[in-house]
Amino acid sequence: MQGSPVPNEHETVGAYALGILDDAEATAFEAHLASCEWCAQQLDELAGMEPMLAALADLPGTGTPALGESLSAKPSPRVVEKLVDEVAERRARKRRRNFYMVAAAGALIVSGPFVAVAASGGGEEGGGGSGTSRTLAANPAKEAFDKTSDKIMATDPETQVTATVALEKKLWGTEIVTELKNVKGEQKCSLIAVGKNGERETVNSWSVPGEGYGLPDATTDKAKQPLYVQGGAAFAPNEIDHFQVMTFDGKLLVEVDA
C-alpha cells in the first residue's frame, strides 16, 4: 500500500478522519467507505494522527516533501502530503466562509439600530417638521405596533419610563411589540413576560445609546423618537400576568400589567 498512488475518489479519507467534512460530505464518504477496503485501511492507519495533521495544516509551507518525510512511514509520505494539503485547503475554505458570514452579520447589526430609530422619525402623531426626511427606511416593528389594537400602557413613577405593549395572539403564543419612551442611556434592557404561573420569559433585549429614546426634552430629533422593539412569547395572551422592562444589571424600569 505504501507504494500505491492514492485514487482521487478516496482523497477525502483524511478530512473524514479529522472530522472537518460537513454532514453531506461525511454521509457520502461513509457510503463509499462501506464498500472500499482501501479507505477502511487508510482510516485505520490514520487513527490517532488527527492532532498531528491538524497542527501541520496550520503551519506555513504545508504539503512540502520535508513535512511528509518527517512523519513516520505509515502511511507513506505522499499520502501524508496529500492529507495535509487537503486539510489546509478545507480549513482555508471554512475560514473564508466564516469571514463572509461574520461580515454579513456585522452589516445587519450595524444597520438594524439605524433602521429602528431612523424610521420612527415620522411616527409621532402631529408629524413634526423633519418626519418626512426620516422615513426612508421602513420600521416593521412600528408598523406592527400601529396595526395592533390590543395595547396596554404604564409609566413608572420613579424612572418615568413609559412602555406601551401591543399584543397579538398567534398559534405559537403571543406576538409582542413594545413602544418605549423616556428611556435614558447608556444601558442594556430586556422585556420580560411573567406568566400567571410565575414563569418568566425574555421576549427581547436591546441597547440604549447615550442620547436615549423618546425623551421629550432631548436636543436632537432622533432622541425624541420612541423605540419600537418586536418579539414573541410562548405564553398565550390570557396566560400573561404582567411585563417588566429590566436593565441588564437588574433595575426595574417599568412594569405593565396584562
Residue 174 CB partners (closer than 8 Å, separation 6+): 167, 168, 193, 232, 233, 235, 236, 237, 240
- Residue 5 reports pLDDT greater than 80: no
- Residue 135 reports pLDDT greater than 60: no
Please state the rounded mean pLDDT for residues 142-168. Answer: 95
Q: What's the confidence (pLDDT) of residue 138?
A: 65
- 8 A C-beta contact, residue 134 and residue 118: yes
With the C-alpha atoms ordered 63, 69, 73, 77, is the resulting torsion angle positive or negative? positive
Q: What's the confidence (pLDDT) of residue 44?
A: 72
Using only the alpha carbons of the chain, give its radius of gyration. 29
- 8 A C-beta contact, residue 223 and residue 215: yes
Cβ-based neighbour number of residue 12 at 10 Å: 21
Q: What's the confidence (pLDDT) of residue 110?
A: 40
- In one-letter notation, the amino acid at residue 242 is H
Say how many Å lie between the first and final Cα of the chain, rounded.
Answer: 74
Q: What is the pLDDT of residues 46-95, one digit of tens each?
A: 665 555 555 555 555 544 444 444 444 344 455 555 555 665 666 566 55
CA distance linking residue 158 with residue 166, whole number of Å? 23
CA distance linking residue 245 with residue 205, whole number of Å? 9
| DSSP secondary structure code for residue 49 in this structure | -
Q: What's the confidence (pLDDT) of residue 70?
A: 42
- 8 A C-beta contact, residue 230 and residue 167: no
Name the strand (E) or helix (H) holding 244: strand 240-247
- 8 A C-beta contact, residue 84 and residue 67: yes
- Residue 42 reports pLDDT greater than 70: yes
Taking each helix axis from N to C end, the angle separating 37-45 and 23-33, rounded to the nearest 10 degrees, works out to 110
- Report the mean per-residue pLDDT for the chain: 74
Q: Which residue has the higher pLDDT, 206 or 6?
A: 206
Q: Assign 146 a pLDDT band (cuts: 50, 70, 90).
A: very high
Please state the rounded mean pLDDT for residues 114-134. Answer: 40
Q: Which domains does the chain have, with CATH numbers?
A: 12-71 (no CATH), 141-257 (2.60.40)
